[in-house]
Structure 1
C-alpha cells in the first residue's frame, strides 16, 4: 500500500510532512525490528534533518536497532562534521555509517540470459549482486531520498539507493556502463522503467530483508518538498518520478549555442559537478558550448584518479577501441562519456564531438586539457552573458527541447 502527499506546484508544510512520516512508519509495525535507514549524501537536495527527526520519533524505543547508512555509490565518504550538518541530530539509539567497500556480501546472481532481456540485448553476462551487508543484517531496509532526472537510470531514487547506493564496485560499474551504452542524453529524464531501472529493480528483489521507501520530490536547491510517497520502493518511486517529471524539467523552444552552468558548492569535484553538463546537454545546438562554472572545484575526481589518465571521450571512442579500455572500471568510462557528450569515432577521422565542454574551475589548465576538455579562467566568465542560457544551481533541473 502506497501513500502519497503533495504534487506538482505544491509546497508542503514541514510539520505536516513530519506527522505524516511518523504515521506511515507507525503503520508498518516495526516494533522489535532491526531497521536500516538508507539516505543520500550531501550531493542531493533533501530536508534530512526534518525527516530524520520524524523517523527518530517513530522508531526510537520501538525498533530493536536502527542503522543509518549513507548511500555513497561512487562518491567520497562523509566526515563526522559533514554528517552532523547533513543529518542534524544527534539521534540517540541510531548508529550512523558511511557505505564502504569493505562491508559487502552477495545477495544473489542475475543470470546472463535475464541480463540480456533486461538490457534489451545490450549486455549479456551474469551479474553478482554485491551489497553492503547491512541490508541483510536488518529486518527492514527503509530508503529515504529524493527523485530527480538522472543521467544513468532516467529518474533517480527508490531502488537506486541499493544499486549503486550501497553496492560493490562490479555491479556499480555494470549498471553505469549500461546507461552509458544508451547515452546520458537519451536516458536522462526518461519516464517509466528504463533498462537500467529494470536491472536495479531485479537486483533489489534479491535482498532478503523487507524493503520500504520514503521517496521525495524536493524543490531544487532548497529543503522544501513538493511531494512525498511511502510504500514499496517500486511504487513510491514511480509516484514521485511522475511529479519530478513535471517539476524538474524545463522546456525550451529551440537549441541554444552557449550554456553557462553555475555549479553549487555541494558538488566538490567534477565527478559530481558534471551534473551541470548532463542536465543541459539536450538543449545545446550542434557545435555549441557548455561552460561548467565552478571556481570552488579544484580536482577532477578525488575518488577516481583513473579518469585523469583516460580523459573524457564519447561512447564510440571506447566501443571502437574496446581492447584498450575494457580493463578499466566501467563506471569511470561511463562518467567519461556522460561529461563528454555525444560524438563519433573512427580510426581515420578520430573523435568528432557534438559540443564543446569548457571547465571554468579551480582545476589547473594542464590537467583540464590533458583530460580532453577545454579550459577557461573563471574570472573571464560573464555570468550575465546575454547570449547564453545561464543556469544557476545547476545539476538537478533538466533542460529539454519541446
Structure 2
C-alpha cells in the first residue's frame, strides 16, 4: 500500500508494482547540524552584495518583506538574525516594519501572524498585511509598459529587504528573489499585468521567464537592497540559505534548488496522481501540482490532482474564475482587449488551466465537485480513487501510473532532459 497525502489526511493506494511508473518524492537532503549557523553563514558571506550591516546606515528606516501563510519559509527562525544584523548597524527595532507580501491573497489573521512569526517578532517590530488596492504609489512604467504600483510604506523606506524561500514555480519558473516585490507588495493592476505574461506556455523550472524579467525590472526601478532566500527539505528543515543581491543570490539558490528539488524519473506515466500537500489551501495554490505532474505525464494522458482545496478556487478570485473558465484563450484575450473582465488575474489563471486542459485529461478530487465542474475539470471523489485506478488497470494491464508527492515543491526531471536543463542554467548564470 502506498501512502499519499490528500490535504492533511493520508490515503493508502494499492497499485501493482508492474503498473507503478514512479513515486516521486523530494530528494532526501539532511539539514545542516545547525540551521542557525547556516543562516549566519549566509548573512556573513552574501552573493553579489556587501553585507547587510554595511548597506544600512544608522537610523535608516527598513522594510522587511516576508511571505504569507501560503509558503513554508521558517520566518521565525530567520528573522531574528536579520534583525540582529540591522541592530548591529545602528537600526532600532522601532525603525523596522515587516510587510507581509500577500500580493492579491487574503490578509493573514492575527492568529496566523502569531503562529508564523512567533511572539518575539510580533512584540519587537510592527507587522502589517500588504493591501493591493490602496496606499499605493505610481513609480512609472516597466519596459513592457506595465504601471509600477507599489506599496507606499515599502517605497518610503530607506532600505528594502526580502526574506523568503525558493521553489519551482509556475508560471514564474522559480519563486524567490524579486518575487517578494512583484507580485508581493504591488498593486492589483501591476500584479494582473505580470501574470498575463505567464499565460503563453509552461514555465515551471525555467530560470529566465517573461514574469521573472518583469519582476526584476520592477525591483531595479523600485529598489530591492538585499534578499535572504532559503531551501527546505522534505521535513521542512532549512537545508541551504543564500543572501545578497536580488539577482545574483537568486541564481545561486536556484543552483541548489535544482539539486534539492529536482527529482529524476525515467518514463512518463499514462496517469499521474499529483498530491499538492501542503500547498493546497485553494486551487490557485494547488494547481502548481498540475504543472509539476505535466512534466512527467504522457501527452494526452490524465492528471489527477489530489487536494481538498478547503478554501475553494481562490478566496479573492473565485467568482470571476468560475465565470471565465468556460472560455478559450482567444476569447479571453478578446475580452481583455474589450475591457469586459473585472479581475484580469482571474483571466490569466484560467489561461494557465486551459493549457493543461488542452493537453491532458484533468481530474480534480477537491471537496466541492460543483466548483470542479464549473472550472471545466472532471471530478473524482477521493474515496472513489482506488476503485477508479483498479478499473483502469483492469481495462489496460500495461497502464503506467505515476505519483508526484509534494507536487507544488518539486521539479520532475526526465533523465534524457537533465543535461540540457543543467546547461541552460549554467549559460544564464
TM tier, shorter chain? 0.7 to 0.9
- Of 135, 138, 157 in structure 1, the residue corresponding to residue 154 of structure 2 is 135
Structure 2 contact 272–293 (Cα < 8 Å) conserved: yes
**Equivalence for 1:252:** 265
Q: 1 CA distance for matches of 2:311 and 2:224?
A: 42
Q: 1 CA distance for matches of 2:120 and 2:209?
A: 38
- Of 209, 215, 219 in structure 2, the residue corresponding to residue 194 of structure 1 is 209
Q: Map of 1:115-126 to 2, 5 A cutoff?
A: 115=144, 126=145
The Cα of 1:358 is off from its aligned counterpart by 1.0
Structure 2 contact 269–401 (Cα < 8 Å) conserved: yes
The runs of 5 or more residues in structure 2 that have no matched partner are: 1-27, 45-50, 394-399, 418-429
SS at match of 1:226: strand
The Cα of 1:161 is off from its aligned counterpart by 0.8
- Of 213, 223, 230 in structure 2, the residue corresponding to residue 216 of structure 1 is 230
Structure 2 contact 35–239 (Cα < 8 Å) conserved: no
Q: 2 CA distance for matches of 1:287 and 1:321?
A: 29
**Equivalence for 2:135:** 103
Q: 1 CA distance for matches of 2:311 and 2:281?
A: 8
Q: 2 CA distance for matches of 1:204 and 1:284?
A: 36
**Equivalence for 1:300:** 313
- Of 233, 236, 246 in structure 1, the residue corresponding to residue 246 of structure 2 is 233
The Cα of 1:179 is off from its aligned counterpart by 0.9
1:358 aligns with 2:389: no
Please tell me the root mean square deviation across aligned C-alpha atoms, in Å.
2.6
Q: Map of 1:169-188 to 2, 5 A cutoff?
A: 169-181=188-200, 183=201, 185=202, 187-188=203-204
1:73 aligns with 2:87: no
Structure 1 contact 216–240 (Cα < 8 Å) conserved: yes
The Cα of 1:388 is off from its aligned counterpart by 2.3
Q: 2 CA distance for matches of 1:325 and 1:318?
A: 10
Q: CA distance change for structure 1 residues 326 and 285 in 2, over 3 Å: closer, same or farther?
A: farther
Q: CA distance change for structure 1 residues 33 and 199 in 2, over 3 Å: closer, same or farther?
A: same
Looking at secondary structure, tell me which structure has more helix per residue.
2
The runs of 5 or more residues in structure 1 that have no matched partner are: 1-7, 116-125, 344-352
The Cα of 1:169 is off from its aligned counterpart by 1.0
- Of 147, 165, 169 in structure 2, the residue corresponding to residue 146 of structure 1 is 165
State the aligned residue count: 366
The Cα of 1:100 is off from its aligned counterpart by 0.7
The Cα of 1:297 is off from its aligned counterpart by 2.2
Q: 2 CA distance for matches of 1:109 and 1:37?
A: 24
Cα deviation per residue 1:317-345 (whole Å; 9 max; x = unaligned)? Answer: 634776678634332122112234246xx
The Cα of 1:138 is off from its aligned counterpart by 0.8
Q: 2 CA distance for matches of 1:395 and 1:98?
A: 24
Cα deviation per residue 1:53-106 (whole Å; 9 max; x = unaligned)? Answer: 222333358314111111112322111111111112332431111111222111
**Equivalence for 1:11:** 31
**Equivalence for 1:346:** none
Q: 1 CA distance for matches of 2:160 and 2:291?
A: 30
Q: CA distance change for structure 1 residues 165 and 380 in 2, over 3 Å: closer, same or farther?
A: same
Structure 1 contact 276–395 (Cα < 8 Å) conserved: yes
Q: 1 CA distance for matches of 2:328 and 2:409?
A: 22
Query: Which deviates more, 268-277 or 385-394?
Result: 385-394
SS at match of 2:131: coil
TM-score (norm 1): 0.83
**Equivalence for 2:91:** 63
- Of 206, 221, 228 in structure 2, the residue corresponding to residue 206 of structure 1 is 221
